[in-house]
Structure 1
Amino acid sequence: MTPLVLPDVALAPLLPIAITLLGAIAATLLGFFMPRRAITIVSMVALILAGVSMVTLWNGGLTSFGGSLQADNVALSLGLIIVLGSVMALLVSFDNASRARLAFPEFDAMLMYAVTGTLLIAFSGDLVTMLIGLEVMSLSGYVMATLQDSRRAEESGMKYFLLGAVGSAILIYGIALVYGATGTFSYVGIRDATAGLAVQNVGILVVGALMLLCGFGFKVALAPFHQWTPDVYGGSPTTVSLFLSTVVKVAAFAGMLRVFGGAMQNVPAWAGVLQILIVATIVIGNLGALFQTNFKRLMAYSAVAHTGFLALTLLGNPATGGPALTYYLLVYTLMTAGALAVVSALQRSEAAFSLDDMRGLFYRHPAYAVALAVCLASLAGLPPFAGFMGKYLAFQASFQAGYVGLTLIAAMGSVAALIYYLRPAMLMFMPDRTPAREFSGERTPTTAAVVLGVVGVTVLGILPNIAYGLVADPAIWTLLAGR
């Protein structure tokens, strides 16, 4: 008689995802008899509990479902960044939902389902789990982008859906080719099969890897797959733009780190193609931002440029590139969410600010003007703010891996970015006698998100080891790469 083999269903690694999913279900059901603000509080409590559960799992290295779900320190650190960005988005939505015409519980439910998908990606141990998380995240994101009753939101959401569907199709086909070449979906199995390229058809494997790179390129907005980004970030409600530009980007890079930093690190060709995409992304992102007059579209092109800087870390050795990517994603979340939170606090309509509207902001709202200036300085990579250290670590990882020319191009792109970051910063401190054009109502929760972003980029810039020291253990990243 064949002995009964019990499935590997450890509950502890599932806890952060399960708590978030329960929060999403609660937001769905409570919407029938609770006000929207109460549901937002319930959602934030669920996210905080999920974050606490991740802290308790630190250094545990637990897995579930035969390794399909991994609660290692890589997943936990990225998961905590996802929770942070999600909480900041909910804080902003607390005040902004009515003005953005999003004051209904379905928004919180969709956001929580999206967060569940992002955590699945970060915790994934194989390509199937990663794909499930990616689709849950993407489908929820499509709905969030179109929830606002306006033509701008509908157009941006439709563009996001169509291009996102193309990206997902390419990604799925790439997964099929990788499986055909290696016979496994597991990251560990793919890593072992490709260690000496001892696969029957290297050509299929390379094509699959390149298709995976293209599919992820849509999700993180690598050029030329970035076309949806300016329209979606600019046309969506600011809260949704904040979520898409931070939480979704973190999750997509978590998937790329798992696939290219671990499972397929030894597969040829993808690194060379990624170098070309990085150069195109940095050039197009910076050039696009130079000509923007709307602040949200400027931030969209800024997000494209930062995607190029973030992708540099994937070319580095996992022991240096992994911690650099994690630290940079944390800093990017804080400074981008902080800047968009200021916009959300002050804008009268979802069209947001034009740069001319920002003239003299310091004389009308000095605290918000200073906070936005800090976030912009950090995005530009100016010391002593954390954006400087994030870019430095990314450049260091690329340079030490031998990509000297690429690192120099990225550094020049970072210098060029000073032009479009300093322009709104200078306008805010110029005298202006015109009447105030900002929203004048209550915005305390949004202010809390702004303070969190500003304090975070300042403290992490002065004391980077508070975060970097936690993830810089080489043992974490050598295990990811199987060394």
Structure 2
Amino acid sequence: MNLVLPDVSFMPLLPILLVLAGAIFSTLGGFWLNRRSLTLVNIVMLLLSAASMVWLWGAGADVPRTAFMGAVRADPAALLLGGTIVLGSLLTLLVSLDTAYRARVSFAEFDAMLMYAITGCLLIAFSGDLVVMLIGLEIMSLASYVLATFQDSRRAEESGLKYFLLGSVGSAILIYGIAFLYGATGTLNYATIAERVSVLEPQNVGILVAGALLVLAGFAFKVALAPFHQWTPDVYSGAPTSVSLFLSTVVKVAAFAGMLRVFGGALDVAPGWHSVLQVLIALTLFIGNAAALFQTNFKRMMAYSAVAHTGFLAMTLLSDRVSGGAAMGYYLLVYTLMTAAALAIVAALQRSEEGFSIDDMRGLYYRHPAYAVALAVCLASLAGLPPFAGFFGKYLAFQAAFQSGYIGLTVLAVLASVASLVYYLRPAMLMFMPDRTPAREYAYGQRPATTLAVALSVIGILLLGLLPNLWYSWLADPNTWRLIAGT
């Protein structure tokens, strides 16, 4: 009798285990350490996680390490997307060092929930089958629901409850879709699904299409594709700003990493979902940009901006896995830097967690010149203006969709990007106009951690805009994405 040992290797899990260790330490360490000390420990754990990803890359990314019979994969795509997740998480923790007390979330449980959410995000990026992806998605979602309600205010509780209720429906739809996919293919492994989809028996095609569309609807909620985006403006504006930063960057990166695994890999040649995704993207581009035009609160404008950028990002899924994956990987990093810096500035200056109105931003340059210039750079990059990194990110997304034959959708995306100039440039111009209103934000104080986060983000936006190959050269390698489904 041959004894088959389980495929348990902890090396591919190292980046995830380091973050999980930080989460457990925050859960237990709150009894004898203050919150600031815990945050510094978690920053160190995230840096160690990033270092472990670099080590795994150098140890042979072309032959990725796997665990649990391929259920966890430390392949190049996982390492690159995981790096973006860790970067966004570091920026969140840096901002929270200066703003947690004022936002009334300065306690150990905040750090614990944040690290648990990051653990789930990394599990999604490193997943090799639908079960691990679902586990990561639920860990991320449950922790995010709690984070959205941590602040002691009615607005935060309302936003968290709405997020939980709608998120539960989205998760149920996703699980139902996974059951359909298993029924059609007889497996939950990405690589095996990809193999069986191309030779599927006719009677199972309908089940496969139904499963793919249900999974698409579940993911559409997580990334805020219209019409599944209704929770976004209320949650982003009601949650503490540091949490809004996390939800709009790290959670979005993780959800798109899962979509890339499923639709760019396992279901790449499956019928049906491409056409539906085109409709969702068109709705998202129209609704996100149109709604942002009429917002008077800056945080709500950034929420609808996040919806609009979801449409641009989703366009990359319609392309082949190499060009689409490279475009998505670049866009996700740039989007994380742009959004994180903009919300970090809001978190540093706002008098209340509602943020400040766009009209109240008039004259910001005369009160906080460095923050005003940094915010203007972020807004210009979000609008896609050269020479900032957002321009190249949108260009790659448009190019990927156009070369795959989606010409009409690309034209719509270009028009939507032009329309976004209105709501991005309005606050940018107001900041440099003469100051005729009383200050609506706190006076500039000692915020070294937030200033560091903003400075790093702005430097990244400028460098990636002027020298895009610093990051894109890693992404453009076909070997980075050829194993996205494990094959």
Give the TM-score category using the shorter length.
over 0.9
Residue 480 of structure 1 pairs with residue 479 of structure 2? no
Tell me what 1:33 maps to. 32
Residue 51 of structure 1 pairs with residue 13 of structure 2? no
Amino acid at match of 1:299: M
Tell me what 2:244 maps to. 241
Tell me what 2:463 maps to. 459
Residue 310 of structure 1 pairs with residue 313 of structure 2? yes
Residue 19 of structure 1 pairs with residue 23 of structure 2? no
Amino acid at match of 1:37: R
Instruction: Select between 341-350 and 192-201 the one with higher mean Cα deviation.
Output: 192-201
Residue 67 of structure 1 pairs with residue 67 of structure 2? no
> Is the 1:318–1:481 contact (alpha carbons within 8 Å) kept by the matching residues of 2?
no
Tell me what 2:254 maps to. 251
> Is the 1:261–1:480 contact (alpha carbons within 8 Å) kept by the matching residues of 2?
yes
> How far is 1:200 from its partner?
4.3
Matches within 5 A, 1:437-452: 437-440=440-443, 441-452=445-456
Match of 2:433 among 412, 430, 447: 430
Give SS of 2:187's match: coil
Distance in 1, Cα, partners of 2:297 & 2:136: 33
Tell me what 1:129 maps to. 132
Shift of the 404–482 alpha-carbon distance from structure 1 to 2, 3 Å rule, reads farther
Question: Percent of counterpart pairs with the same letter?
Answer: 70
Amino acid at match of 1:192: E
> How far is 1:433 from its partner?
3.6
Tell me what 1:295 maps to. 298
Tell me what 1:386 maps to. 389
CA-based RMSD? 1.0
Match of 2:169 among 166, 169, 194: 166
Match of 2:224 among 221, 238, 259: 221
Amino acid at match of 1:26: F
Tell me what 2:399 maps to. 396
Match of 1:76 among 68, 74, 79: 79
> How far is 1:378 from its partner?
0.4
> Is the 1:40–1:94 contact (alpha carbons within 8 Å) kept by the matching residues of 2?
yes
Tell me what 1:267 maps to. 270
Matches within 5 A, 1:148-159: 148-159=151-162
Give SS of 1:70's match: strand
Amino acid at match of 1:464: P
TM-score (norm 2): 0.98
> Is the 2:185–2:200 contact (alpha carbons within 8 Å) kept by the matching residues of 1?
no
Distance in 2, Cα, partners of 1:456 & 1:196: 45
Per-residue displacement from partner, 1:389-448 (whole Å, max 9, x unpaired)? 000000010001010111000010000000000000011011014333321232110111
Give every structure 1 segment of 4 or more consecutive aligned residues whose post-TM-superposition deviation is greater than 3 Å. Answer: 196-200
> How far is 1:257 from its partner?
0.1
Give SS of 1:66's match: coil
Amino acid at match of 1:351: E
Give SS of 1:417's match: helix
Per-residue displacement from partner, 1:193-243 (whole Å, max 9, x unpaired)? 002334641101100000000000000000000000000001000000000
Amino acid at match of 2:464: L
> Is the 1:265–1:481 contact (alpha carbons within 8 Å) kept by the matching residues of 2?
no
Tell me what 2:362 maps to. 359
Per-residue displacement from partner, 1:58-104 (whole Å, max 9, x unpaired)? 12511110000000000000000000000000001001101100010
Distance in 2, Cα, partners of 1:476 & 1:387: 22
Give SS of 2:101's match: helix
Match of 1:409 among 404, 408, 412: 412
Match of 2:117 among 105, 114, 118: 114
Alignment size in residue pairs: 482
Give SS of 1:267's match: coil
Residue 96 of structure 1 pairs with residue 92 of structure 2? no
Amino acid at match of 1:45: V
Distance in 2, Cα, partners of 1:107 & 1:279: 37
Give SS of 2:73's match: strand
Amino acid at match of 1:301: Y
TM-score (norm 1): 0.99
